[in-house]
Structure 1
Amino acid sequence: MIHKGSCHCGAVAFEFEGDIDAAITCNCSICSRKAPVLTAITRDRFRLLTAEDAAATYTFNKHAIRHRFCRTCGIHPYGESGDADDASIYVNLRCLQDFDLASVPIHAFDGRSA
């Protein structure tokens, strides 16, 4: 299945292929404020449909994740692993079109302690 998503204004749009069978919430200092519901996918399954520079990048603490957000509307549709050995994209399921969050189990991740 192909999933499509975007920020609020559509300046950052993406798609990826695959099933979504689980998601996480995180309690780190940024996630506890922006409240994403995330699923991890491999980078090769993710395709950005808009210009790379439409999204700005924010990192903090250990710089483990490059948090990507729209320069126009400020929504955080995805993040990227900062680790060269980990080719993961963390998609904010709240930014997907026609996706029911209640359809997947959501697990809590203790990012505050990580």
Structure 2
Amino acid sequence: MTTVHEDRFKLRAGADQLTLYQWNTKIARHYFCSVCGIYPFHRKRSMPDHYAINVRCLADFDASAIPVRQAEGKAMTLAEENQPGGWSGPKA
């Protein structure tokens, strides 16, 4: 995944084949292909004006040029019910 501002993202084809998945705060929007199941992109909870894009879904793109950053999903926080909006960040 790599992140781009929403002004720099343009979906060229396949919008009619996308399925939206949300959970917890329903701020982030995760999109999947309803035909093959691939996860092409999502709108981030921590930066709702950005998209994270699965570069493996891009034609003629050299993914080896993107720096790799490790993430640990189990350390991500879940919002408690009735908590104000926003993302509190990863657990310490």
- The TM-score normalised by the length of structure 1 is 0.56
- Cα shift at 1:98: 1.8
Aligned residues: CA RMSD: 2.1
Distance in 2, matches of 1:96 and 1:112, equals 28
Task: State the match for 2:24 in structure 1.
Answer: 61
Distance in 2, matches of 1:51 and 1:104, equals 25
Task: State the match for 1:23 in structure 2.
Answer: none
Distance in 2, matches of 1:75 and 1:39, equals 16
SS at match of 1:106: coil
- Cα shift at 1:71: 1.3
- Cα shift at 1:94: 1.1
More strand, by proportion: 1
Distance in 2, matches of 1:53 and 1:63, equals 21
SS at match of 1:112: helix
Single out whichever of 73-82 and 40-49 deviates more from structure 2.
73-82
Distance in 2, matches of 1:89 and 1:59, equals 15
Task: State the match for 1:90 in structure 2.
Answer: 52
- Cα shift at 1:101: 2.3
Task: State the match for 1:108 in structure 2.
Answer: 70
Q: How many residues align structurally?
A: 76
- Cα shift at 1:64: 4.1
Unmatched tracts of structure 1, length 5 or more: 1-37
Q: Which amino acid counterpart does residue 71 of structure 1 have in structure 2?
A: S
Distance in 2, matches of 1:97 and 1:91, equals 13
| Residue pair 2:28, 2:48 contacting (<8 A) in 1 also | no
Q: Among the aligned pairs, what percent are the same residue?
A: 33
Distance in 2, matches of 1:98 and 1:57, equals 26
Structure scoring higher RCO (CA < 8 A, sep ≥ 6) equals 1
